Structure 1
Amino acid sequence: MRQGLADRGQQSTALAVELGFLADHGHEPEALRQATILARIAGVPADEFVLKHGLIGETEFYRALAAELGLPFLAAPRLSPHVRYPDGILAGLAPLAGAGAGFVAAPHGAALAHLLKARSPGRLLAITTPSQLREAVFRVQAPLIAHRAAHDLAEKAPALATDVGYGQIVTLFMGLSLFSFGVGYAPGFTIAFLGTALSPLFLGMVVLRLSAPFLPERAVADAQRPRMEDADLPVYTVIAALYREKRVAARLLEALSRLDYPAAKLDIKLVLEADDEETPEALRAAGLPGNVEVLVAPPGQPRTKPRALNVALPLARGSLTVIYDAEDVPDPGQLRLAAAHLLQAPPQVACLQARLTIDNTDDSWLTRLFTIEYAALFDVFNPGLAAIGSPVPLGGTSNHFRTAILREVHGWDAWNVTEDADLGIRLARLGYAVKDLPSSTLEEAPGTLRLWMRQRTRWMKGFVQTATTHSREPWTALRQLGAFKFFSALVLTWGIVLSALVYPLFTGLFLGAWLFGTNQASGSRWDAALQASALILFLSGAASILVPACVALHRRRLWRLAPWLPLLPLYYGLVSLAAWGGLWELATATFRWNKTSHGLARTSRSGLVRSTMPGRPAPDR
């Protein structure tokens, strides 16, 4: 080799093999030595350290590697149609197109060190970058990738996949028609029958909601927990699906850069859609860190967030995986806390749900009520469900998974528009648990009724899909879950849907009977008993709304929102409208994904919500 090679061997013995060759290609040996030391402290290969920290550009690094090995560098390799997905990307090795064309490689870590030591490329004929290799595989295997992302669950576990067909929709609407006929023909009997039939679900919901505030809060004493060394931390994959998110793309990158986690151990994957031109432009303007990969989901159906997440899951390199939304601002210490929890938790704990909280609370009356709802759900109700071992319908973000288990359960259901709730129930059916993570992620709530209704209609449609999916084979679900978890799952799926659908009817009838029927003589003791039970159910239902909300405001120190509590019954009336809208969409646009627009917030409790497009002023308050 060159004369500099001998000098390097004498004065740079501390250099990692993965970096040593760079000394002959224009890089200072002392800087490489420092990078080697820092990589050892972080517990990562030295090449990954310099690339993920952006100390050396990816193209510059692999061009130097090609020159060192005397091999050509391919900026856009043409691959064989027989390239394996995702194995070729993960291994950094793929066959080139053409008979006897050999292989192209983008080696990293141990494979790179072995190649440099052996100096025998064998059938390896070219070098490329990991990004170019990934894009080349996506070009060749786009149909396969799209198919797996959409149908993997249905093909491997059909009993757990969404299958809402026309027959089920017709049955559902026939039931609603019979109910409407019964109300018109024999209202008293119909409503009494319906109330009696649904009362176990309603009472179950009341019991769960009223018991959750009184369960001991199992917060972690972080001050007493020793801080894990960087070398002991696992690689963490972060996945975020973005579609037309130019307003918040830069802010997401900023929020991820604030995470208190070694950058070289972050495997960040942003999944975009092929027809989205504005988000890539915003990301390029913001500047992509070295540990961020941009994946473009191949065209296909359905156009949903879970399908996009499924595109990224096979490529996850971390033993832990977290999902974030485009507008999220997670607590900087969230990944460290989640890693510490999962490393110490029993192996059946598959997921930790962090606590979502609304940041743009003061945008409107709707965002104030949304803040109360989220506080009650993520600070009181979900932690209570986790504490008693109930299934937990996940929130759509800040879910921290063991990657191996997430792959084992086949990821997300691409055809379910509330994929988070579905995955929470599926994990419980397969014997896994979801626990609470006492760490916050800031979210942006829709500030207008139109945007809120679009989002909530999708959620309620997805809950119907989830309820239908997991009650198709009730005896199988009962055997998998056991009696308590099975009933809890019914309450958290059908109970949520049905209570939302009948909320205005039952509330109106009850109030009408008590306000305008008090002068009528009771027909019988049976009528009196029904009236008394209706009163108990009404009052307990109201308490199940207000008590968790009050406890949540106390825990979040948001008592300034207390004057808005009387509007919660109106708010849940809007939820009922969204539930009926969800039924209509289930029949007319079963798998349509009503996208929520982000980056429209005008206020911020934390002071973090800003427009981060380059050269763009913050919105007026």
Structure 2
Amino acid sequence: TVLCTFGYIATLADRLLLFTRGMARDAQFIVDDEEALALTDDQLPPYTVLVPAYNEPEVVGDLLAAMAALDYPADMLQVLLLLEEDDTVTIEAAEKAGLGESVEILLVPAADPRTKPKACNYGLHFTTGEIVTIFDAEDLPEPLQLRRVVVVFDRLGDDVACVQAKLAFHNGTQNLLTGWFTADYALWFNFILPGLMKSQSPIPLGGTSNHIRRSVFDEIGAWDPYNVTEDADLGVRIAESGYSTAVLDSTTLEEANSDPINWVRQRSRWYKGYLQTWLVHMRRPVQLWRVIGTAGMLRFTTLLAGTPIIACLNMVFWMTTLAWLLGQAALIEEIFPWYAYFPALISLVFGNVAVMYMNFVACRETGHANLWWPCLTVPFYWVLMSIAAIKGTYQLIRNPSYWEKTFHGLSS
């Protein structure tokens, strides 16, 4: 318990430090509309957008509309809609909706592993752009996002391999779960990721809206088709190769999961992939440490291994706390001496209040001040996280590369 409490406190202290650094104005790159629109066609490089989709007929129409809304010259933009060759319902829906001028369907061979990174790797062979990005089927990217990315790459040196845009949800007020999820994303993409950038630590990329130089793939390799959080793995490999990632103040809207079972399926896959990524890169810990440094190594461990492990341990400590509340105080006192009990109690009180405070600030600063009730009730969200982490850890042992499908089109 003492060791676990130390891990909790160390992780929380670092999270607060990242949060503070992420509040700085220069923690993310800001490109105003005038600067983005000032780029002439001659200044814009060829751009490829990969859109992997599987069994998504209900959202493909909105997807094609979002791609058509991108402000980029049609002759410089390539949008590859990556569909599995046996996914007839989505193929028919896309053809019926009408493909835009820059959009083409690329049929991915129906072969294992049936994962998003496998489809992206296949699509990468057909790309023509100097910059490659991914949008998910339900994404609504800000129309000027591609232009803003070009400006950021022009500002920065060749050591920047990736520009990560921010993700948010368009249905944050649909129910309590979407409110929790929206607050979670507001904190992560607006403060924690920018804080990691300021700290020059590895950045676990979001699964979408990460814009990467095509030449970087040729140097460090593409996505791991067997990793179920291929974005986090690629983010670590970018840092491991000596490159860095910039965070851009441009938002892609997604659909927050409104169904608890669907949410647990998605989050358990993320937790499983985080552990997967940590285990893969810890095969060469000395090599990784030499490149990303001691602080980067600690954050790599607390984020990718610590996040799912702490979520699993939460259930154990909650049950212990529940036993104390239900009248077994004498038993708790007998089992846990003061040097274990009081630090754990401080961690419980201070840790929970600190995370709730960060959620409140994140929601207020991102225009979601109306989500005060989800911020107050967020401990119930942590229970769902713990269930998902336990499920993901178990699945890592039993079926590590199984991709649990997240269903979209559930928002009202």
- What is the Cα deviation at residue 548 of structure 1? 2.2
Instruction: Provide the residue aligned with 2:18 in structure 1.
Output: 212
- What is the Cα deviation at residue 538 of structure 1? 2.0
Aligned-partner residue type, residue 105 of structure 2:
V
Instruction: Provide the residue aligned with 1:122 in structure 2.
Output: none
Instruction: Provide the residue aligned with 1:591 in structure 2.
Output: 401
RMSD: 2.2
Stretch deviating more after TM superposition (500-509 or 270-279): 500-509
1:551 corresponds, among 351, 361, 365, to 361
In structure 1, C-alpha distance between the alignment counterparts of 2:333 and 2:221, rounded to whole Å: 57
In structure 1, C-alpha distance between the alignment counterparts of 2:332 and 2:250, rounded to whole Å: 56
What's the CA shift string for 1:155-193, capped at 9, x where partnerless?
Answer: xxxxxxxxxxxxxxxxxxxxxxxxxxxxxxxxxxxxx3x
1:495 corresponds, among 296, 306, 313, to 306
Q: What is the DSSP-based 3-state SS (H/G/I as helix, E as strand, rest coil) of the residue aligned with 2:221?
A: coil
Task: Find out whether 1:290 has 2:101 as its counterpart.
Answer: yes
2:117 corresponds, among 294, 297, 306, to 306
Q: 1:281 to 1:476 in 2, by over 3 A?
A: same
Instruction: Provide the residue aligned with 1:474 in structure 2.
Output: 285
In structure 2, C-alpha distance between the alignment counterparts of 1:200 and 1:486, rounded to whole Å: 18
- What is the Cα deviation at residue 284 of structure 1? 1.1
1:460 touches 1:497 (CA, 8 Å); kept in 2?
Answer: yes
In structure 1, C-alpha distance between the alignment counterparts of 2:265 and 2:151, rounded to whole Å: 37
Counterparts of 1:148-297 in structure 2 under 5 Å? 192=1, 195-196=2-3, 198-199=4-5, 201-215=7-21, 216-218=24-26, 219=28, 220=30, 222=32, 225=35, 227-297=38-108
Aligned-partner residue type, residue 404 of structure 2:
N
- What is the Cα deviation at residue 225 of structure 1? 3.6
Task: Find out whether 1:413 has 2:224 as its counterpart.
Answer: yes
Aligned-partner residue type, residue 25 of structure 2:
E
Instruction: Provide the residue aligned with 2:194 in structure 1.
Output: 383
Q: What is the DSSP-based 3-state SS (H/G/I as helix, E as strand, rest coil) of the residue aligned with 1:361?
A: coil
Q: What is the DSSP-based 3-state SS (H/G/I as helix, E as strand, rest coil) of the residue aligned with 1:464?
A: helix
Task: Find out whether 1:428 has 2:239 as its counterpart.
Answer: yes
Counterparts of 1:84-95 in structure 2 under 5 Å? none
Instruction: Provide the residue aligned with 2:371 in structure 1.
Output: 561
Q: What is the DSSP-based 3-state SS (H/G/I as helix, E as strand, rest coil) of the residue aligned with 2:191?
A: helix
- What is the Cα deviation at residue 460 of structure 1? 1.5
Greater RCO (Cα-Cα under 8 Å, separation 6 or more): 2
2:171 touches 2:178 (CA, 8 Å); kept in 1?
Answer: yes
Counterparts of 1:2-81 in structure 2 under 5 Å? none
What's the CA shift string for 1:375-400, capped at 9, x where partnerless?
Answer: 11111211111121111111110111
- Number of residues of Structure 1 aligned to a counterpart in Structure 2: 407
In structure 2, C-alpha distance between the alignment counterparts of 1:412 and 1:253, rounded to whole Å: 24
Q: What is the DSSP-based 3-state SS (H/G/I as helix, E as strand, rest coil) of the residue aligned with 2:377?
A: helix
Q: 1:535 to 1:217 in 2, by over 3 A?
A: farther
In structure 1, C-alpha distance between the alignment counterparts of 2:364 and 2:19, rounded to whole Å: 11
Q: 1:222 to 1:206 in 2, by over 3 A?
A: same
Q: 1:429 to 1:515 in 2, by over 3 A?
A: farther
Aligned-partner residue type, residue 154 of structure 2:
L
Q: 1:201 to 1:348 in 2, by over 3 A?
A: farther
2:267 corresponds, among 451, 456, 474, to 456
1:504 touches 1:573 (CA, 8 Å); kept in 2?
Answer: yes
Q: 1:202 to 1:346 in 2, by over 3 A?
A: farther
Q: What is the DSSP-based 3-state SS (H/G/I as helix, E as strand, rest coil) of the residue aligned with 1:270?
A: strand
In structure 1, C-alpha distance between the alignment counterparts of 2:354 and 2:247, rounded to whole Å: 21
- What is the Cα deviation at residue 363 of structure 1? 2.5
Question: What runs of 5+ residues in structure 2 fail to find an aligned partner?
Answer: none
Aligned-partner residue type, residue 410 of structure 2:
L
Aligned-partner residue type, residue 77 of structure 2:
L
Q: What is the DSSP-based 3-state SS (H/G/I as helix, E as strand, rest coil) of the residue aligned with 1:350?
A: strand
- What is the Cα deviation at residue 224 of structure 1? 6.8
Q: What is the DSSP-based 3-state SS (H/G/I as helix, E as strand, rest coil) of the residue aligned with 2:250?
A: strand
Stretch deviating more after TM superposition (583-592 or 504-513): 504-513
Aligned-partner residue type, residue 585 of structure 1:
Q
Instruction: Provide the residue aligned with 1:541 in structure 2.
Output: 351
What's the CA shift string for 1:217-272, capped at 9, x where partnerless?
Answer: 32525167462122211111100101111111111111011111111111111111
- What is the Cα deviation at residue 544 of structure 1? 4.1
In structure 1, C-alpha distance between the alignment counterparts of 2:332 and 2:164, rounded to whole Å: 52
Task: Find out whether 1:321 has 2:160 as its counterpart.
Answer: no
Counterparts of 1:327-342 in structure 2 under 5 Å? 327-342=138-153
Q: 1:437 to 1:204 in 2, by over 3 A?
A: farther
In structure 2, C-alpha distance between the alignment counterparts of 1:212 and 1:288, rounded to whole Å: 42
Question: What runs of 5+ residues in structure 1 fail to find an aligned partner?
Answer: 1-191, 603-621
Task: Find out whether 1:577 has 2:387 as its counterpart.
Answer: yes
Q: Percent identity?
A: 36
In structure 2, C-alpha distance between the alignment counterparts of 1:416 and 1:543, rounded to whole Å: 34
**TM (normalized to structure 2)?**
0.93
- What is the Cα deviation at residue 286 of structure 1? 1.4
Q: What is the DSSP-based 3-state SS (H/G/I as helix, E as strand, rest coil) of the residue aligned with 2:306?
A: helix
In structure 2, C-alpha distance between the alignment counterparts of 1:455 and 1:335, rounded to whole Å: 27
Q: What is the DSSP-based 3-state SS (H/G/I as helix, E as strand, rest coil) of the residue aligned with 1:238?
A: strand
Aligned-partner residue type, residue 289 of structure 1:
G
Aligned-partner residue type, residue 166 of structure 2:
R
Q: What is the DSSP-based 3-state SS (H/G/I as helix, E as strand, rest coil) of the residue aligned with 2:81?
A: strand
- What is the Cα deviation at residue 520 of structure 1? 8.8
Q: 1:595 to 1:529 in 2, by over 3 A?
A: same
Q: 1:450 to 1:343 in 2, by over 3 A?
A: same
In structure 2, C-alpha distance between the alignment counterparts of 1:484 and 1:462, rounded to whole Å: 22
Q: What is the DSSP-based 3-state SS (H/G/I as helix, E as strand, rest coil) of the residue aligned with 1:595?
A: coil
Aligned-partner residue type, residue 541 of structure 1:
G
Q: What is the DSSP-based 3-state SS (H/G/I as helix, E as strand, rest coil) of the residue aligned with 1:256?
A: helix
1:510 touches 1:534 (CA, 8 Å); kept in 2?
Answer: no
- What is the Cα deviation at residue 506 of structure 1? 1.9
Q: What is the DSSP-based 3-state SS (H/G/I as helix, E as strand, rest coil) of the residue aligned with 2:265?
A: helix
Q: 1:354 to 1:591 in 2, by over 3 A?
A: same
In structure 2, C-alpha distance between the alignment counterparts of 1:333 and 1:521, rounded to whole Å: 57
Instruction: Provide the residue aligned with 1:127 in structure 2.
Output: none
What's the CA shift string for 1:318-344, capped at 9, x where partnerless?
Answer: 111111000000011111111100121
2:172 touches 2:179 (CA, 8 Å); kept in 1?
Answer: yes
In structure 1, C-alpha distance between the alignment counterparts of 2:15 and 2:391, rounded to whole Å: 25
In structure 2, C-alpha distance between the alignment counterparts of 1:345 and 1:510, rounded to whole Å: 50
What's the CA shift string for 1:447-494, capped at 9, x where partnerless?
Answer: 111111111121111122112112223222222321111111011111
